A and B are shown apart, each in its own frame.
Chain A
Amino acid sequence: EVQLVESGGELVQPGGSLRLSCAASGFSLNDNGMSWVRQAPGKGLEWVSVISAGGISTYYADSVKGRFIISRDTSKKMVYLQMTSLRAEDTAIYYCARTNGYYFHWYFDLWGRGTLVTVSS
């Protein structure tokens, strides 16, 4: 079955760190780039980061640049989001999404169920 399953979300204090994981099944990470998109409670969608199919190129939203790192392990079929210096405004459901389209002009054709990150003291 083609699916994405996120994990790792939890309550963390401001300034803390957290690593989110996304398990991919039913397709190859060598064929598709992957992205993280977040949604604050009751709010809209915000793109966070993307990694290319080759794993060489990464790209970040200004709001997380320098604090978050996206990576992947193709052998384990996993995608990660390492988050540091977390702020209250990072509180959101984080979705893992498969990209499709053209190099760095991607839409998101498969989404996981999301994992909730809460940043609060």
Chain B
Amino acid sequence: EIVLTQSPGTLSLSPGDRATLSCRASQTVRSNYLAWYQQKPGRSPRLLIFDASSRATGIPDRFSGSGSGTDFTLTISRLEREDFAVYYCQQYGSSYTFGQGTNLEI
């Protein structure tokens, strides 16, 4: 099973800052099949990025994904108040596993 480790566990930033979230896989993720989700308290997850760097429909361009192999990054260029949430990475190259999440707090 591919284990995904997200860092940091908690990231404290301010609106207007740049956020960089990391997701490291225990082995190479086939074809960079990696997605990112946002989850706000009491809400269901929302797809942000798929295939490591493709933005999902309706996702603002301040969200971007990058990386390959075992190291992936979600970048939020200029944080807005609505962006403070928990973020999960997920690999779908070999079965399906999620990272433990990064809590992005104000």
CB of B45 within 8 Å of the partner chain: yes
Interface residues of B, CB < 8 Å — how many? Answer: 26
Among listed A22-30, A41-49, A79-87, interface-contacting one: A41-49
Secondary structure class of chain A's binding surface, majority of residues:
strand
Whether A47 touches B96, Cβ cut-off 8 Å, given contacts A101-B33, A101-B50, A105-B30, is: yes
CB of B44 within 8 Å of the partner chain: yes
CB of B46 within 8 A of CB of A47, answer no
Residues of B within 8 A of A68 (CB): none
CB of B99 within 8 A of CB of A44, answer yes
How far, in angstroms, from A110 to B50 measured CA to CA in the complex?
13
Given known contacts A105-B31, A105-B93, what 5 new A-B pairs fall within 8 Å (CB)? Answer: A45-B45, A105-B30, A106-B92, A108-B90, A110-B47
| A–B pairs, 14, beta carbons within 8 Å | A44-B98, A44-B100, A44-B101, A46-B98, A47-B96, A101-B50, A101-B92, A105-B30, A105-B31, A107-B50, A109-B47, A109-B50, A112-B44, A114-B44
